[in-house]
Amino acid sequence: MSIRRRGLLPEPFRREAEKIRGAMNEVLWMPTDGWYAEYRDLLGLKRLHPSAELPSVYHPIDSDVPDMFQAYQMLRYVDTQIEHVPVEGDSVTIWTSNWVPWIWSVRDVIQSEVAHTALAYWQAGRRKKAYDLYRGVIVDAMYCSTVPGACQGTSEHSRRNAGVASDFSCSVAMFGRAMVEGLFGIVPDALEGELLIRPGLPREWDSASIDTGGSIATSDIICIRWLCSMSRNAPVPS
């Protein structure tokens, strides 16, 4: 629809998108393991490298590449294969990959990547783990860091680059996006003129409110207040 509004035919773009998705599923998807390989060697034996980093999980999910079961499998990879660091209670943060030795940005504890992974969990319907990750990154960055209240670029748990880049733009953007699109489930599509409401609130919350203070999908301010009955006779979708 947005392509048509610009006077372009949508079919070539749709074909290209399907071509990319087909290639990813044919070449990189590992059905026995249940996630996309990080890459395939261009030369030689053209082997797959199965140890995927976080962006190889959250970017495909955020771009609607995998189906819902594939997304579930990919996040189970994060659950079981990516190193978790306890923060407080059930709240955790995670490393960006299992690669060694340490490499900047691909083997670290980076707040924006943890927040983006939390958003992927919300997008896949796993709101408990999503909130545990999001709360973990907020407490880690805004309470436990050397600059309280800041959106830190790297975690204090990083042994090589602790507390780097206060209010890093990647972190600021993903902290906000995970809250609006994930926790409160306000997902705008300005090009299509649509607004999807898909709340990701924890089960134990009985109310929550948000005021965007400005435009999201239209020229109007969005102000939402959730009131949830938590009675056993009123099931809440997971």
What residue ranges do the domains of the chain occupy?
Answer: 53-183, 187-238
At 197, is the secondary structure helix, strand, or coil?
strand
Model pTM? 0.87
> Taking Cα atoms as reference points, which of 197, 64, 202, 178 lies closest to residue 126?
202
Confidence at residue 235, expressed as pLDDT on a 0 to 100 scale: 40
Question: pLDDT at position 139, please?
Answer: 94
C-alpha 237/C-alpha 48 separation (Å) is 37
Question: How many Cβ atoms from other residues are within 10 Å of residue 128's Cβ?
Answer: 14
Q: What is the arithmetic mean of pLDDT over 9-30?
A: 94
pLDDT the model gives residue 236: 39
Average pLDDT over residues 218-230: 51
For residues 145 and 151, give the distance between their C-alpha atoms in angstroms, rounded to a whole number: 9
Helix, coil or strand: residue 172: helix
**Confidence (pLDDT) at 168:** 79
pLDDT above 90 (res 5): no
On the question of pLDDT at 193 being above 80, the answer is no
CA dihedral 67, 216, 119, 194 (to 10 degrees): -10
Alpha-carbon gap, residue 81 to 96, rounded angstroms: 11
Mean pLDDT of the chain: 86
Identify whether the C-beta of residue 191 lies closer than 8 Å to the C-beta of residue 206: no
Mean pLDDT of 61-89: 97
Q: Which residue has the higher pLDDT, 122 or 235?
A: 122
